[in-house]
Amino acid sequence: MKKMFLCLAFVLTVSVANAWWRNSEEAVVIVAKEHLTPKADKMVNKYLGKSYADDVQYLYDLEKSKAKEVKLSKKARRKAAEIHYLHLDENFQPKKVKGKDAFKATEAALAIIRDCKSHSKAEVTTALRTVINLMCDMHHLWRIRIDGIAHSQRDFSYVVPRGEVGKMKDQLISNKWSKSWNSFDGGGNCYSAKYWAEDIRIYLGDRYADYAKGNLRDWIADNGRLAAHYLEICKPGQITSYMDRKMMQPENYDMMVKAACRLATLLNEVAE
């Protein structure tokens, strides 16, 4: 049943159901803001301003700025990048890790927002920006690392036939796990954030409550199970079927819609 729904979703959104470019992530934030309670909307406007979609790349922009100031080693860069990844155990629950991954950083940021009176405006602003950035990151399936799935711990390559027919060696295409989620056909940055937001609204319809159901740990487990499903389909040295690869496209778009709804739910809760 789910596959039938996703096939329909692919047909309906084929022109835009591609990777999470900056404009599409800004669209996630635009749609999320439309579902904020008055109290949450007031909080966001106070700390981020009315155009808070601009903050969607805050962590990346900050990291680039720091990188220009200080030349970091590869090890230091990898360590800094861990904040954008989600580490899960075999039951798809947050794993205890050294430093901060996406879940730990989000939890820490939420604690600051909840106790905003004990923190400076700058601290709360940074915390909100962190939550926005990492809610998007946690819905990128390729950023999820799961215990018991060795190839999820690093980027890897898998192969897909060029089309539905034929499996000769010269007809296979090599795909990087990360890049494959970010290379689907579509408009990419050719489309504005407003265009993407309108497409998300149409796709979402009146299903906000269904997409926003649960809490942060529920969403993480849901994302982990989905990532595990595709990690089973896409393995190093294994041929992934053409149709299985195509199914990743509408799934990726569905995750973008979930991110918008869940971000709104999280901000509404933390504003209470």
Least confident of 7-11, 150-154, 246-250: 7-11
The amino acid at 212: A
pLDDT surpasses 70 at 8: no
Q: What is the pLDDT of residue 216?
A: 97
Do the Cβ atoms of 180 and 16 come closer than 8 Å? Answer: no
Nearest Cα residue to 44 out of 111, 132, 106: 132
159 forms beta bridges with: 174, 239
Give the homologous superfamily in CATH for domain 2-271. Answer: P1 Nuclease (1.10.575.10)
Q: Would you kindly state where each structural domain of the chain is located, as residue ranges?
A: 2-271
- How many CB atoms are closer than 10 A to CB 238? 11
Higher confidence at residue 78 or residue 222?
222
Nearest Cα residue to 212 out of 261, 255, 269: 261
The rounded distance, in Å, linking the Cα atoms of 40 and 272 is: 8
The rounded distance, in Å, linking the Cα atoms of 26 and 61 is: 14
Mean pLDDT of 16-30: 71
Q: What is the pLDDT of residue 93?
A: 96
For residue range 188-204, what is the model confidence (pLDDT) as tens digits? 566 788 888 999 999 99
Q: What is the pLDDT of residue 188?
A: 56
Mean pLDDT of 174-200: 78
Do the Cβ atoms of 199 and 16 come closer than 8 Å? Answer: yes
Cα distance between the two ends of the chain: 37
